[in-house]
Structure 1
């Protein structure tokens, strides 16, 4: 074998220890494994040339003070992260923080869903147990709370989700009744409170919304039972007014326009008192939750609480 050929043979660490055993095996036994056969041939070549009586190579030792050791300076890295990927990962990590956009949207969706489920469950239980009149003041609270906590869009989503839940669980009558008597009222109050409107305007507008919902409720049930409930109410008011006037010595009979005016005034006064009580109750509730700064309270009420 030429010297040029022997110069290309690699040095194998530990071959001086395994050389007699492998040479003996290569002479007597035919190796069955390709790896073992290759090792035996390499050791046989190195022993035949006698250029390296002891197959050695320099061991790689590192300074214990060095923490990072570079194996090769020529090899290219297996994976390179681009600047665009770094920017996208940074944006994703920022969105998942407490103040991130994705986290806030997810939290708003979860809270609106929980408030809608709570409002629908309480309304169904109250209707089933015939205690709706006792808990009627709390049905609009989830919608107002969502509007004050997030925005008007969140309050509207809570109202729609509650109505959809009632539509699936209790039917369309319960869903429409909830919207007319409590849903639109809660949305109006939440919108006005969110924009920090004065209590006078808020009570008046909310009372009109409540009165319109009550009229719609009467019309709906009049259609369902095939009876004009509004006409029965006005007839009773007409009879009561005629009796009162005759008892006072007046022989006048009020017209139907006067009766409708009396009916509308009484309905609006009733709704104003109801909405005023809701303002007091909800303002006290939000103040105890630490949301007093986001409310525009009258001076007398702010001093009272």
Structure 2
């Protein structure tokens, strides 16, 4: 009697036999006839839905939400693992000791440090009125940068030092540094990095120093509204006249002779100063282990 009652219940719901979940899903997905499709809608609670442990999904071909979903329309991602691997394999090579990025960063850091050191020493020396005692060391950072890296590094050090002095001490200090020490250090560094002869290096550097000194005199003449060059030539003229008179010569030298004497004395002074700088810097670089990059005279190489 229980069996007949169960069959009647199943007949009422329109479900005649038990089907596995896969067959039931296939019937709901692909209906074979309108009657079967109508029966599947009438079976609200059927035996497969009760006995199956898996959830049932009713998929219809006419569903507008799922019609446009295709696997082929998925776009490729912008980031891939291969690109990440290429970046990871390329970056450590640049960060090694011989890498391009590491060398550029090291050169920039050293130029900045030398510029800061040179500017600080110059400002302290000017403030304490001991510039004449430490004047031989102001061009050293520029020469060292040019010797260690190249001429471009020395020029960057000079420009950075002048910019620092312009910000901290004003334009007068910056221009004075460039005329008296900056261009001299750049000329020495350029000649030493190209391994020029000491005679050529001393002569060219002395000319650069003399031109810087003339520019310094002209600048301060403009600032104090007084012709310092005329005062210098007048004193030289008076001294030369006194010397000639004391020797028994009654002659007055012309201004061209005075200018020639002034230029010669200035060039000799610069030559002696630059020669002392060559000796001092060569000794300093030799103690640092940079003797191989220097072209020293034989007498000086034997002396050290």
CA deviation after TM superposition for structure 1 residue 85, in Å: 5.0
8 Å CA contact 2:207, 2:267 repeated in 1: yes
8 Å CA contact 2:20, 2:52 repeated in 1: no
How far apart in 2 are the matches of 1:279 and 1:296? 11
Q: Who is 1:95 aligned against? A: 94
What are the equivalent positions in structure 2 for 1:26-45 lying under 5 Å apart?
Answer: 45=51
Q: Who is 1:229 aligned against? A: 228
Task: Say if 2:23 is the partner of 1:2.
Answer: no
How far apart in 2 are the matches of 1:122 and 1:80? 53
Q: Who is 2:27 aligned against? A: none
Stretches of structure 2 lacking an aligned partner (at least 5 in a row): 1-16, 25-49, 54-76
Q: Who is 1:219 aligned against? A: 218
TM-score, normalised by the number of residues in structure 2:
0.75
How far apart in 1 are the matches of 2:89 and 2:297? 46
Partner secondary structure for residue 251 of structure 1 = coil
TM-score, normalised by the number of residues in structure 1:
0.75
How far apart in 2 are the matches of 1:271 and 1:262? 14
Residue deviations 1:155-204, cap 9 Å, x none?
00000000000000000000000000000000000000000000000000
Partner secondary structure for residue 20 of structure 2 = helix
Task: Say if 2:149 is the partner of 1:133.
Answer: no
Larger radius of gyration: 2
Q: Who is 2:279 aligned against? A: 280
How far apart in 1 are the matches of 2:209 and 2:21? 103
Aligned residues: 243
How far apart in 1 are the matches of 2:299 and 2:88? 53
Residue deviations 1:80-103, cap 9 Å, x none?
633x65444332221111110011
How far apart in 1 are the matches of 2:235 and 2:52? 123
Q: Who is 2:105 aligned against? A: 106
Q: Who is 1:210 aligned against? A: 209
How far apart in 2 are the matches of 1:269 and 1:302? 25
Stretches of structure 1 lacking an aligned partner (at least 5 in a row): 9-43, 48-77
8 Å CA contact 2:179, 2:213 repeated in 1: yes
